[in-house]
A and B are shown apart, each in its own frame.
Chain A
Amino acid sequence: MREPTFLILTALARGRHHGYSLLTETKKLSGGRVSLKPGSLYTTLDRLQEEGLVRDDGEEAVAGRLRRYYALTDSGADALKTEADRMEAGADVARQSLRIRTKGALA
């Protein structure tokens, strides 16, 4: 799973979002590292909807602009959990390796 996809699913796990709030939320979640553009966001949202990980969740007009909300599906939550577990396992291995390296340096 690529990082922008992971961030979008993570943002949606916290609650429904419309397009612009997804852009700001993903940027915040990545600590400013990942700054999605609207074109990339909607390409990813289209794909996630095709895969059944994200669904439409209503729309409203605010200041004359249409806002459509998106929400995470149960399949999306499962996919996010699987990816988070995979990343956690990878991070644990990396930390163990670094501890071994540190012990080796001190010996």
Chain B
Amino acid sequence: MSEAALERGYRRALRAYPASWRARHGEEFLGVMLDVAAGEGRGKPTRSELLHLMLHGTAARVNRVLQGRRRDRMAAIGTIGGTALALVMMVLGELGRWFRWNSYNLVDHPFGAFTTPAAIAFVLTIMAFAALAAGRHTTARVLHAAAVAASIALAVVLGVTDPAIPVHPLVFSFFGAANLLALFGNPVRTSVLRRLVFIGAPLLGVFITLTSYLQGGGAQRTFWGGPYLISDQRLAWWSLELVVLAALLAAAGPKARPWACLALIPLASLPLSGMFLSLGGNAAIGLIGIQPGVFYVFCSVMGVVSAWVAWKRPVLSFGSRDARPAG
């Protein structure tokens, strides 16, 4: 193959990259590809080279819409949410039968030492967090991908069979979404994100476990498919809402961020108020009541304050002629 034909082959492969990227880097990148081929004495592109270009071109397209920092924040949200709820589900749902009253026993056909096969998705999510904490990023990404695949497979399998202990499909929707988000970027790229993830995830897990345990009365049988307030379905639904809202906020660019704060933060009051609805007002335990109205007011105020802070940053534009254009 002549160099002209080699160049044509590479130009075709470069169409995987967005037009703006090709306008900026296309010619120099082509030069590098041709230099590499000449250095290796090759007259044609290799299959792995073309696949590599396709993957990186796709990544460049994604990066155009969602820059690295925003993707990293979304990945942090997925990691924190997924790990926290996995811990909650393991304690309340899976391992609960070993220490909670009114628990499933062997005649209910639990899943080995656990209670349901959903434990597979929870364990994979927790292992991904542990791999991240150990600095094994590639292993963490593989485990997140495995958790996504396991969530989809389990949703299908448990949906068509009739397990003795039901797991609501929303649980798998949450873990599929959270682990997919975790793959969007590097959730621990900066020191701030690292602290947020490694401190936030376990703290949130412990906090939600304790508050859910108090509200659920400690009975395991009311957790899976139960009609009571704290059940797998409701926890998964509220967590999914919170993770999606947080991810949308993280994905918002500088211009959209004030509007995102105004719209999304108040909306978070709905799942939050549900999660802690019966935490208070119990005369027997004597806990402090947290009425839903408290969340509505608090989140609305936070939404306005956050929008103002996001607007006031000099890189943002809030539709005002005085603001500098977004960076």
| Pair B28/A68 contact, Cβ less than 8 Å | yes
A38's partner among B27, B33, B63, B137 (CB-CB below 8 A) is: B33
Give A59 to B32 CA distance when docked, in angstroms. 13
Q: Distance (Å) between the CB of B194 and the closest chain A CB?
A: 12
A40-82 near B? 1/0 per residue, CB < 8 Å: 1111001100110000000100000111100000000000000
Q: A2-B137, A43-B59 are in contact. Are A50 and B28 (CB under 8 A)?
A: no
Contacts of B34 in A (CB 8 A): 65
| Pair A39/B27 contact, Cβ less than 8 Å | no
How many residues on chain B are close to A (CB under 8 Å)? Answer: 24
CB of B312 closer than 8 Å to a CB of A:
no
* Consensus secondary structure, chain B interface: helix
* Range, interface on chain A: 20 to 34
A65's partner among B35, B56, B63 (CB-CB below 8 A) is: B35
Residue of B nearest to A37 (CB): B52
Contacts of B90 in A (CB 8 A): none
B18-33 near A? 1/0 per residue, CB < 8 Å: 0000000101111111
**Which of A6-14, A16-24, A97-105 contacts its partner?**
A16-24
Q: Distance (Å) between the CB of B70 and the closest chain A CB?
A: 11
Residue of B30, B31, B59 most packed against chain A (CB within 10 A): B31
| Pair B29/A38 contact, Cβ less than 8 Å | yes
Contacts of B25 in A (CB 8 A): 42, 68
B60-102 near A? 1/0 per residue, CB < 8 Å: 1001000111000000000000000000000000000000000
| Pair A67/B28 contact, Cβ less than 8 Å | yes
Residue of A nearest to B57 (CB): A39
CB of B5 closer than 8 Å to a CB of A:
no
CB of B210 closer than 8 Å to a CB of A:
no
A66's partner among B27, B56, B68 (CB-CB below 8 A) is: B27
| Pair A19/B28 contact, Cβ less than 8 Å | yes
Nearest 7 A/B pairs, CB to CB: A39-B56, A65-B31, A19-B32, A66-B27, A20-B35, A68-B28, A39-B52
A-contacting residues of B (Cβ < 8 Å)? 25, 27-36, 49, 52-53, 55-57, 59-60, 63, 67-69, 137
